[in-house]
Amino acid sequence: MSEEAIREFWESLEANRAALVDPVAPEAMNELLAALRRVDSRFYYHVGEHDEGVDLILSAEGHCEALPLLRQVRDGAPEVSGWNVLAVFDGDLVIGRRNPMLFPPDENGDVLYLMARQATICASSDRSTSPSCSRRPARGGGSSRAFERRGSRGNPTSDPRTAARGT
């Protein structure tokens, strides 16, 4: 995908950043989603607030082959004070929800979900984004590296669990 679409996504974040946290403006969330989907129509995002700031969780929605492009988007993040950008295999894993499309409600799905969840827990930081304060736009219209965290400049965090894994 073009560098221009990635740049436009980050410009959309800058223009809508204040409207993505309390109080949340659905129009801003939808505009940011549209900008992200111009990069790749499979991508999705979540915004999670916590005591240390805000996480923008970019999700490949289970498409392993899309992770390199998602990492490219993450690495293009401008520095935004108080915001961290995360690139993940499945955004629902980060906030503790099971995606039945990726992890069906059967024995195999149970095993795969537990493995993916464990990889996410092991790779996450000491503070986590609570599902109760995670926001995502309305939906519509197998990697073991399920969770990757980057600082606001796209650099690896100092968390030894993520730094040891590399990118």
The pTM for the full model equals 0.68
Three-class DSSP labels, 53-117: EEEEEEECCCCHHHHHHHHHHHHCCCCCCCEEEEEECCHHHHCCCCCCCCCCCCHHHHHHHHHHH
pLDDT digits (tens, 9 = 90+) for 78-132: 998 899 998 988 887 777 788 888 888 899 888 888 888 777 554 443 344 443 3
Whether 30 is in a domain gets the answer yes
Whether 164 is in a domain gets the answer no
- Domain tally for the chain? 1
Whether 68 is in a domain gets the answer yes
What pLDDT sits at residue 114?
85
Helix axes 26-39, 67-75, angle to 10 degrees: 120
Whether 165 is in a domain gets the answer no
- Report angle CA 139, 27, 52 to the nearest 5 degrees: 85
Whether 157 is in a domain gets the answer no
Whether 69 is in a domain gets the answer yes
pLDDT digits (tens, 9 = 90+) for 132-143: 334 455 554 333
CB 94 within 8 A of CB 147: yes
| Domain span at 34 | 3-152
Per DSSP, the three-state class of 1 is coil
In the chain, the amino acid numbered 62 is: G
Whether 166 is in a domain gets the answer no
Q: How far apart are CA 112 and CA 1, in angstroms?
A: 30
